[in-house]
Amino acid sequence: MDRKLLDLLVCPSTRQPLQLLDTRGLQALNAAIERGGVVRGDGSAQSEPVREALVTRDRKLLYRVDDGIPVLLAEEVIVAAQVADFPGA
């Protein structure tokens, strides 16, 4: 993801800056998705693994990045509290 773009992005709900999710966080997220325990903001299940994601500064909200494009929609947000062993949440 382009660094200049990343510097401009904020969470649409909290207005917190976003950063790329680290490998450890991504592994925990994908393990929870594989177990079937992750839902998005609209209540639908996140069934596909995530290759890249953005996380808010407080590490509570996650947004997918699909093919280099951040999906910054409130209905697509993933709350980190539902991810067991999520680092820093």
Tens digit of each residue's pLDDT (9 = 90 or more) over 30-85 = 999 999 989 999 999 999 999 999 999 999 999 999 998 999 999 999 999 999 88
Assigned token pair, 76: 């697509």
pTM recorded for the entire structure: 0.91
Q: CA torsion angle for 17, 20, 23, 46 (degrees, to 10)?
A: 90
Burial (CB count <10 Å: 0-12, 13-18, 19+), residue 77: buried
